[in-house]
Amino acid sequence: MIRAALARLAELAVVALGVSVLVFLMIHLIPGDAAQVMLGADDVGAAQVAALRERLGLDRPLPVQFARWLWRAVQGDFGASIWTGRPVIDEIAGRAGITAELTALALGLALLLSVPAGCVMAAMRSSVSDYAVRIVSIVGVTMPSFWLGAMLLVLATTLLPGVAVIGYVPFDDDPWGHLQRLALPALALSLPVLAALSRILRAAMIDSLGQDYVRTARAKGVAEWRVVAVHALRNALIPFVTSAGIMAGYLFGGSVVLEQVFAIPGLGRLMVGAIAERNYPLVQAAILLATLAFVGVNLLVDLLYLAIDPRARRGSAA
Amino acid sequence: MRNPLLSIGAALVLLLAVCAATATWIAPYDPNGQDILARLSGPSAAHWLGTDNFGRDVASRILAGLRVLFAVSSVSVLAALLLGGTIGIVAAWRGGWTERVAMRLMDVFFAFPIILLAIGVVAVLGPGVIGTAIAIGVVYTPIFARSLRAPARLLLASDYVEAARATGAGTRRILLRHLLPNLAPVILVQASLSLSTAMLVEASLSFLGLGTQPPTASLGRMLAESRAFMALSPWPALFSGLAILVAAFGFNLLGDGLQDRLDPRLRGRS
């Protein structure tokens, strides 16, 4: 168990380093002179461009730049915003929590509903329901969540006039208003994932219910609900948990887009604004931190997988 | 044992592809033409899907947007297939360090949430059609590399490739006669499923204002722009999103159905 976990940790450390290199290179892949592009207008003096280039360290050799950037990043220093001069990390810190909360709410909702949905759909299996499940889940997966959000918004404002469903208030100021405003985006965000996860769990449950150990459990007189909820579900959760990790990244991306629909001041809006202003240090830091968080979530999922599946603990967990 | 959903998916894709290809001719109005007096009207005989805030015909704009959506996603998914497929097959062929390094590199790209990677690429290249197409290509390259490497390895280790080698078949012959034809089903499934999600990525980027720029029609941007007057007329927002959904749904249904008919030995191993 420990060995397999450490091997995975080493693998992800390499990936994390690769991610950092790639994000670092972003600024160097900009066509043309990065400092000039960031300052935009053509009438900016050459002195100003040179000053920015020096401030960003763009005049040094690439490996030196990377080492310096990484060393500072590890200490939480991602540079200053090109426009406000504030440390980038401070601008992100205030926003990331909101996006993380929305992502977590949507994932929680999807996990909570997909387990019973998947089990019930597996138990009620028939050839007609096979098709129905397939169509519904594909519609769910291919539904643009920002469109679903917009449509829910139209419905909510028509059916519940006067109820605030967009915007954002901090939890400490107004806990109820806070949740009320996050309810619709969380719902819109979770539906595609709910559809995908229910289908995965249903398939795994059908597979698992056909196994010998389920037959044995039934033969020795274990109650049917126990057979489904304990014996079959535990095994079926393996592919489910693995995909839930991937879904976390998907949800995060969806949240970045949905914030635009519901006027939520999260990381997504910050990033889109930063791209428009060509504020690259901010964009770099946001992408790096979010991706590393996602890598961390996947590590957790892998560890969870090792805990659930005894087979993965032995041998070469590949 | 035919799967009706596969036929439905194929028919839907074909229908939309024809609509996208002939958009210029079958559109009832000029997508940028304005009928100021009929602004924000609902569906009617004159405007089947209604009009937007400038009085532009929604149906014609959707057709034009569909054309861009198809063009951008198919070009970039094709590029990703060529690049990623080559990486995956070369990795499987060479094995050893080449394989390890190539696949680690793909893992790095895989670590990014899709939208975030796409946003990053667009941030570097600048918003627009070209930036969006390259972003989608970058996002899907590792997906093809991964999904083709495993089956390519299986095939390369199979008895008949061994037999072909024994009879003196060269690299080219093994690749063209034995490997590619047998990989074709996997390629079709992956391309179809990737097209489905690539369309959602394109729509998301355009929705954020990072994709296709005006005056080129775009379903994602159309949805974003129509949100402002959704309370007055929900039709443009409803139909533009529905068009994205139907296009992505068609390709997903097709890929899903093809996956079912795929050679079971190559299925689900990645």
Q: What is the pLDDT of residues A30-40, one digit of tens each?
A: 877 777 777 77
| Mean pLDDT in residue range B159-167 | 84
Q: DSSP secondary structure string, chain B?
A: ---HHHHHHHHHHHHHHHHHHTHHHH-SS-TT---GGGTT--S-SSSTT-B-TT--BHHHHHHHHHHHHHHHHHHHHHHHHHHHHHHHHHHHHH-HHHHHHHHHHHHHHHHS-HHHHHHHHHHHH-SSHHHHHHHHHHHHHHHHHHHHHHHHHHHHTSHHHHHHHHTT--HHHIIIIIIHHHHHHHHHHHHHHHHHHHHHHHHHHHHTTSSSPTTS--HHHHHHHHGGGTTT--HHHHHHHHHHHHHHHHHHHHHHHHHHHS-TTTTT--
Position A251 pLDDT exceeds 80: yes
Packing angle, helices B96-111 and B58-94, rounded to 10: 150
Q: How confident is the model at residue B266 (pLDDT cuts 50, 70, 90)?
A: low
Residue A313 in any domain: the answer is: no
Least reliable range by pLDDT among A18-22, A196-200, A314-318: A314-318
pLDDT at B25: 83
Question: Which value, in Å, is the radius of gyration of the alpha carbons in chain B?
Answer: 22
Average pLDDT, chain B: 86
Residue type, B202: E
* Chain A, chain B: beta-carbon pairs less than 8 Å apart: 135
Please list every residue in chain A whose beta carbon sits closer than 8 Å to the beta carbon of residue B109. Answer: 22
Q: B75, exposed or middle or buried, with CB in 10 Å at 0-12, 13-18, 19+?
A: middle
Instruction: Please judge whether A144 and B241 are an interchain contact, meaning their C-beta atoms are less than 8 angstroms apart.
Output: yes
| Mean pLDDT in residue range A118-123 | 83
pLDDT at A43: 62
Please list every residue in chain B whose beta carbon sits closer than 8 Å to the beta carbon of residue A253. Answer: 113-116, 204
Residue A80 phi/psi, 5-degree rounding, is: -105, 150
Residue A140 in any domain: the answer is: yes
Q: Which of B227, B206, B232, B252 is nearest to B66 (CA)?
A: B206
Residue A93 in any domain: the answer is: no
Please list every residue in chain B whose beta carbon sits closer than 8 Å to the beta carbon of residue A33. Answer: none
The residue behind tokens 């990484």 is A70
Token pair listed for A243 = 């995909």
Please list every residue in chain A whose beta carbon sits closer than 8 Å to the beta carbon of residue B244. Answer: 144, 147
Token pair listed for B246 = 């139907």
CATH class of residue range B4-23+49-262: mainly alpha
Instruction: Please judge whether A253 and B115 are an interchain contact, meaning their C-beta atoms are less than 8 angstroms apart.
Output: yes
Q: How far is B170 from chain A (nearest CA, A)?
A: 32
b/e burial code for range A117-155 (CB count within 10 A of at least 16 → b):
bbbebbeeeeeeeeeebbeebbbbbbbbbbbbbbbbbee
Task: Tell me the CB-side half-sphere exposure of residue A98, using CA atoms within 13 A.
Answer: 26
Q: How confident is the model at residue B140 (pLDDT cuts 50, 70, 90)?
A: very high
The residue behind tokens 């795994």 is A204
Domain boundaries, chain B: 4-23+49-262
Structural domain including A153 reads 107-276
**ipTM score assigned to the predicted complex:** 0.86
Find out whether A226 and A146 touch, Cβ atoms under 8 Å.
no
Q: Which residues, 6 or more positions from A122, have their beta carbon under 8 angstroms from its beta carbon?
A: A201, A202, A205, A206, A209, A228, A236
Q: What is the pLDDT of residues A62-96, one digit of tens each?
A: 888 888 888 888 888 887 787 777 888 888 888 88
Facing B124 at nearest CB: one of A30, A141, A261 = A30
Find out whether B121 and B154 touch, Cβ atoms under 8 Å.
no
> A152 and chain B: CB distance < 8 Å anywhere?
no
Instruction: Please judge whether A134 and B5 are an interchain contact, meaning their C-beta atoms are less than 8 angstroms apart.
Output: yes
Residue A50 in any domain: the answer is: no
> A203 and chain B: CB distance < 8 Å anywhere?
no
When divided into structural domains, chain A yields a total of 1
pLDDT at B269: 41
| Mean pLDDT in residue range B153-166 | 85
Find out whether B227 and A151 touch, Cβ atoms under 8 Å.
no
Which has more pLDDT, A213 or B86?
B86
Token pair listed for A72 = 């500072």
Hey, is A81 helix, strand or coil? Answer: coil
pLDDT at B2: 63
